[in-house]
Amino acid sequence: MSYTGPGFDPPQPRRSRRGPLTVALAALVPGALLGWAVYAAVGGSGDDEGPGSTAASASPSASASASSRTSSPAPSASSEDEKPGAPAAASGPLRGRVVVIDPGHNPENFKHTAEINRQVDIGTNRKECDTTGTSTDDGYAEADFTLDVAHRMRALLEKQGATVKLTQDGDRPFGPCVDERARIGNEAKADAVVSLHADGSGTGNRGFHVILPGAVDAGAADTRAIVGPSEDLGTRIAGNFVRVTGSAPSNYVGGGTGLVTRKDLGGLNLSTVPKVFIECGNMRDSKDAALLTSGAWRQKAAQGISDGIVSFLRGWGSAR
Ligand SMILES: [Zn+2]
């Protein structure tokens, strides 16, 4: 069930003699565009990455809701997944480019509450080291989702010649903390970093959103140089995510754009390289959960995000 195509295969209208094909295709395009508009924001915030869904409403005092995680994860992260020091593919358009993938949370975080509740400095304020993340109502953990998509993305990007590094690969007892997650991207001198998540919002709240760093200059945080390129990266990811998955932008944050800017996330505040988060869907909505738990859909998600990164690196990165 692996999705290997280069992009989105639109439904092929039956090719008949003349006009109908053109008409059908023409009808598809406004339909897709309409998707962006139809999903008008209805307010509310359920982002598991912390309080305040937007930079404007960020409130550092509230605590992230770590939702229940009762099932024990299957042992994962076979060592073959990890390729320490493996040389990047010698060819491909992304040869020499470094992509860091940050699989949000950690399947073992729930066993280490004291450690992950430790406060770390994120420049603007202090915040928990990490959180457990959310899960579907059936117990599929966000941390398992993020690792799975990360592995799929790594395969896709390595095929393009990129050097890919994960901030964690199910190979640590907990974390890393959000400040270390940022540091890993910085020290790798990554050309692009994407932090993978799925949201834990209310039923009926659907769709994906990409979180962009707002301009922050406080303490160890200075995002001013990465705001522009990160917006470019995030916009390309959002567009490709729509194209490949067919998912609509969030109907509860971002005003239907699929883009949200925030200044309260340590993983963004402390980054010195272009970086965005993506909330691929809402695990607490049954329709979104049906997508998030599907391997075929996760392959599309990985393809969409990877395509966005490739687009960014080929369009922007030539100057770097
Ligand atoms: Zn998350």
For 263-290, what is each residue's pLDDT tens digit? 999 999 999 999 999 999 999 999 999 9
Calculate how far, in angstroms, residue 89's C-alpha sits from the geometric centre of ligand 1: 30
Q: Lowest-confidence range among 17-21, 40-44, 117-121, 290-294? A: 40-44
Q: Measured on CA atoms in the order 173, 177, 181, 187, is the torsion positive or negative?
A: negative
pLDDT confidence band for 90 (50 / 70 / 90): low
How does the average pLDDT of the chain come out, rounded?
A: 80
Q: How many CB atoms lie within 10 A of CB 296?
A: 11
**Is the model's pLDDT at 132 over the cut of 70?**
yes
| pTM of the complete model | 0.75
Euclidean distance between CA atoms 88 and 50, whole angstroms: 35
3-state secondary structure (DSSP) of residue 10: coil
Q: Lowest-confidence range among 30-44, 217-231, 242-256? A: 30-44
Q: Lowest-confidence range among 37-41, 148-152, 255-259? A: 37-41
- Under 8 Å CB-to-CB from 114, ≥6 apart: which residues? none
Calculate how far, in angstroms, residue 245's C-alpha sits from the geometric centre of ligand 1: 20
Calculate how far, in angstroms, residue 292's C-alpha sits from the geometric centre of ligand 1: 13
Q: Which residues of 243-279 are buried (b: 16+ CB within 10 A; e: fewer)?
A: bbbebbbbbbbbebbbbbbbbbbbbbbbbbbbbbbbb
Q: What is the pLDDT of residue 11?
A: 40
Calculate how far, in angstroms, residue 20's C-alpha sits from the geometric centre of ligand 1: 45
- Residues within 5 Å of ion ligand 1 by Cβ? 48, 104, 133, 197
Q: What is the pLDDT of residue 184?
A: 98
Q: Give catalytic residues, as residue numbers.
A: 279
